[in-house]
Structure 1
Amino acid sequence: MNHTALPTTIVIPTYSEVRWDYLTRTLECAHAQTHTPEEIVVVVDHNPAMFDRIKRELPGITVLQNEYAQGVSGNRNTGAFYAQTPLIAFLDDDIIAEPDWLERQIEPFADPEVIGTGGFIQPAWEGEAPRWMPGEFLWAVGGSYTGMPTETAPIRNVWSANMIVRRDVFVAAGGFRVGFGKLGDRNRPEDTDLCLRMSEVSDNGHWVYVPGAVIQHEVPAERASFKFFVKRCYAEGRGKVQMGSLHEENSNDALGAEKSYIWSLPKAVVRHVGAAATGKGADHLLRAGGVIAGAAAAGVGGVVETVSKKRAGRRNESEAAQ
């Protein structure tokens, strides 16, 4: 254990008693860390019955109710603004963290210019992983994907299922953007948006990806379907365009990482086809198709959102002229 590590509060958002078993498992992992957190905070999203049950049945943690409008962004903010430790760690309520997850992921904060870190997210499939699922698109089920760093390295953004932030920079950035996140069929990248804004308000601050800090993220059977995959990629395309429009005034290219990722996909298709052709399994052909389908769905989503944005702009201009 690193005795010089900064004190850390773990914040876990939750919302439904359907996820009770997941939540208790996540809390067991949080309590079992080799670096003991200063406090564990569970924030309940507008569910008084679940809030009361947690207070009654789960001792040793702090339980809060979402102080903002419904949604995970406000849920996380409630816990983060309550916390007083220099570092705040965010975990989803359906993960299994390795015992040394926290210890490993706070190590980069020895560098004062590190404003946040993220770790490796291993999809934990409820059933069999789909044969057609390409590693390049594991982000569609909340996992780390092929092409990410394999050693600790700087990165533009990480994901809130496995994220640690410096509290002072998080507060200076205003926390997660409430109303911009995952709720219902909306899938806006509130975590990427936060990373960009924290980088903007800090002096030379940067994010670090720590692949040795591992969590497993539950993937229910219904999220292993091709239909879900296409819908998720479509929503991601729309969400990234929405996020980009929020950062248009920033001199940096808010979608630079996405553009680099898109250019890597043709190589992924060639790689999978080549693997199939050299006897490494016909599943690689399916994965090549998965790459094409995912890229197409995300592209359509991006086009739809871009057109919608332009129409809204013209409508606003017309109303203003009247």
Structure 2
Amino acid sequence: MNGWTQRVSVVVCAYTTRRWDDLQASIESVRAQPEADEVVLVIDHAPELLALALARWDDVVIVENAQRRGLSGARNTGVLEASGDVVAFLDDDAVAEPDWVRLLVEPFVDLDIVGVGGRAEPVWPVGGRRFYSDELLWVVGCSYAGLPEGDADVRNVLGCTMAFRRWDLVQAGGFDLDTGRVGRIPLGCEETQLCIRLRQDDPDARIVLRPAALVQHRVTPDRVTWSYLLRRGFFEGVSKAALARELGREDSLSTESHYLSRTLPGAVLRELGLAGRGGLRRAAAIVACVAATVAGWALGTVAGARLGGAGSIAATADLLERAGR
């Protein structure tokens, strides 16, 4: 790669046998790429899945999550296990394009760059995307309309396709264990939080988006339902409220302000003009998702105050879950 001499480790985290076929496709998509010097598979407290993986691969580093259950702990375990100078992350239900590793790590020749994100395109289940406009694809973990279409500096990257310098990850303390997804609870923001911390620690550090580094991200049928849309939007609001308390509103909401004030209103107007072609349903989904997110933000703010103003995302979500029972 034009004189590239640094080692690259690709970390994949998995927690359930329900995604076994997806996991195999994910691992195989990077094993074939010569730029991936090492593939690290972290099994998140799932003994049956661990046994399957150990029997399936003998050239993949397979380890158990040594930290608390959840995606953040699993990723941290992968970082500590990895031997690469650069650590890339791929979701267990995403398949990397053949040049994904090369394109994702090339920008690291610039020493100011500490993180690089790629693009994720959805692979829809039978029945299609239903009510999702391009602007709402973040709900299903994919790149959405409003992101830069070419290489550009961004606040944060997308979790299913990203890479960081390993040293910077270790120095920053890795991913916050109190942030991000645990099992099927749709919390988020662990990548956002990490990227903000990296830049707050070093104002010269750069996080860049490279859309050419592409993965195909499978969307499961349960994610094309109204209930998932509303739940995901709600917990996004909860996550952002906790993030704003921890890291400040300006850094935590800089991207969202433009998205809410410019991108989404334009999308609603466009969809209303396509009323005869499903536009009303897509416009309603945008409005409903925003309402759920605002509700999550408001309740997350109140819950945070009840927790003393410093409650983590996980603690805030737990309080709201218990209150709703």
TM (norm. structure 2) is: 0.90
- Residue 65 of structure 2 is matched in structure 1 by 66
Aligned residues: 308
Deviation digits for residues 53-102 of structure 1 (CA, Å, limit 9, x no counterpart): 32222121001111111111110100101212210001111111100011
- Residue 290 of structure 2 is matched in structure 1 by 295
The equivalences for 1:1-322 within 5 A come to 1-4=1-4, 6-33=6-33, 35-183=34-182, 184-248=184-248, 252-264=250-262, 265-274=264-273, 276=274, 281-313=276-308
Partners in 1 of 2:196 and 2:290 — Cα distance? Answer: 23
Deviation digits for residues 99-143 of structure 1 (CA, Å, limit 9, x no counterpart): 001111112111111110011100111223333211111000001
Deviation digits for residues 174-202 of structure 1 (CA, Å, limit 9, x no counterpart): 00001321114250311111111112223
Structure 1 contact 8–86 (Cα < 8 Å) conserved = yes
Percent identity between the aligned chains?
35
Structure 2 contact 9–38 (Cα < 8 Å) conserved = yes
The one-letter amino acid paired with 2:299 is V
Partners in 2 of 1:132 and 1:47 — Cα distance? Answer: 34
Superposition RMSD in Å: 1.8
Partners in 1 of 2:192 and 2:251 — Cα distance? Answer: 13
Partners in 2 of 1:103 and 1:57 — Cα distance? Answer: 26
Partner-residue secondary structure (3-state), 2:193: helix
- Residue 320 of structure 2 is matched in structure 1 by none
The one-letter amino acid paired with 1:22 is D
The one-letter amino acid paired with 2:255 is A
* Unpaired runs of at least 5, structure 1: 317-322
Partner-residue secondary structure (3-state), 2:25: helix
Question: How far did 1:7 drift?
Answer: 1.7
Structure 1 contact 9–85 (Cα < 8 Å) conserved = yes
Partners in 1 of 2:244 and 2:71 — Cα distance? Answer: 20
- Residue 316 of structure 2 is matched in structure 1 by none
Structure 1 contact 68–75 (Cα < 8 Å) conserved = yes
- Residue 319 of structure 1 is matched in structure 2 by none
Partners in 2 of 1:127 and 1:142 — Cα distance? Answer: 18
Question: How far did 1:243 drift?
Answer: 1.4
Structure 2 contact 130–224 (Cα < 8 Å) conserved = no
Partners in 2 of 1:271 and 1:87 — Cα distance? Answer: 41
Structure 1 contact 169–201 (Cα < 8 Å) conserved = no
- Residue 320 of structure 1 is matched in structure 2 by none
Structure 1 contact 26–95 (Cα < 8 Å) conserved = yes
Partners in 1 of 2:106 and 2:279 — Cα distance? Answer: 37
Deviation digits for residues 220-241 of structure 1 (CA, Å, limit 9, x no counterpart): 1111111111111111111111
Deviation digits for residues 239-274 of structure 1 (CA, Å, limit 9, x no counterpart): 1111111113x9x53211112211122122122223
Question: How far did 1:203 drift?
Answer: 4.8
Partners in 1 of 2:5 and 2:115 — Cα distance? Answer: 14
Partners in 2 of 1:28 and 1:68 — Cα distance? Answer: 26
The one-letter amino acid paired with 1:259 is S
The one-letter amino acid paired with 2:210 is V
Partners in 2 of 1:37 and 1:3 — Cα distance? Answer: 15
Structure 2 contact 186–232 (Cα < 8 Å) conserved = no
Call closer, same or farther: CA 1:224–1:188 in 2, change over 3 Å: same
Question: How far did 1:6 drift?
Answer: 2.9
Structure 1 contact 69–179 (Cα < 8 Å) conserved = no
